[in-house]
């Protein structure tokens, strides 16, 4: 990875982390310090999946993420990744409805992966009382 690609990738990773921290579901039985650790692990997993995309898909996603980060300058005077949690949520909600730029599609991808990784995290599964069962399914017996 060259230096310029690395800089963009680090910025995209920060944007993904900011979006995930804003939208992470509340599981009240998880302590705040555990929650931030889980958020970091989930955002790293989501960004890892984005990095595995083929080049022709990854580059547009990266560019769209950077454009999304900068789009909040028009509204709040700060990049998305620098906003507080409430403003990030508001900006994400607003951007989903913009018909010209496909921010909504990028947010769907990011948040869908976030939910997959979040609810698959062992501490979250324990907190909500769900554990994987091994062996043959009992459904239909």
Residue 111 maps to a domain? yes
- The pLDDT of 21-50, averaged and rounded, is 86
Residue 70 maps to a domain? yes
User: What Å distances lie between residue 41 and 2, 20, 38, 70, 92, CA to CA?
Assistant: 25, 11, 5, 25, 21
> Which tens digit of pLDDT belongs to each residue from 77-133?
999 999 999 999 999 998 888 877 777 788 888 888 888 999 888 888 888 887 766
Residue 136 maps to a domain? no
Residue 141 maps to a domain? no
Residue 133 maps to a domain? no
Which is more confidently placed, 57 or 78? Answer: 78
Domain that holds residue 31: 3-127
- CB-CB contact of 91 with 18 (8 Å): no
> Which tens digit of pLDDT belongs to each residue from 10-22?
998 999 899 888 8
What total number of domains does the chain contain?
1
């Amino acid at each position: 990875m060259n230096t310029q690609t690395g800089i963009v990738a680090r910025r995209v990773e920060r944007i993904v982390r900011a979006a995930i921290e804003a939208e992470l579901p509340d599981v009240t039985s998880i302590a705040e310090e555990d929650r931030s650790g889980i958020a970091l692990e989930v955002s790293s997993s989501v960004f890892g999946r984005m990095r595995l995309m083929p080049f022709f898909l990854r580059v547009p996603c990266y560019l769209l993420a950077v454009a999304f980060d900068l789009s909040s300058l028009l509204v709040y005077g700060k990049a998305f990744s620098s906003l507080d949690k409430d403003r990030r949520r508001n900006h994400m909600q607003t951007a989903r409805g913009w018909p010209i730029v496909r921010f909504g599609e990028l947010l769907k991808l990011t948040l869908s992966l976030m939910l997959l990784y979040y609810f698959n995290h062992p501490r979250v599964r324990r907190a909500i009382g769900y554990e994987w069962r091994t062996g043959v399914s009992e459904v239909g017996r």
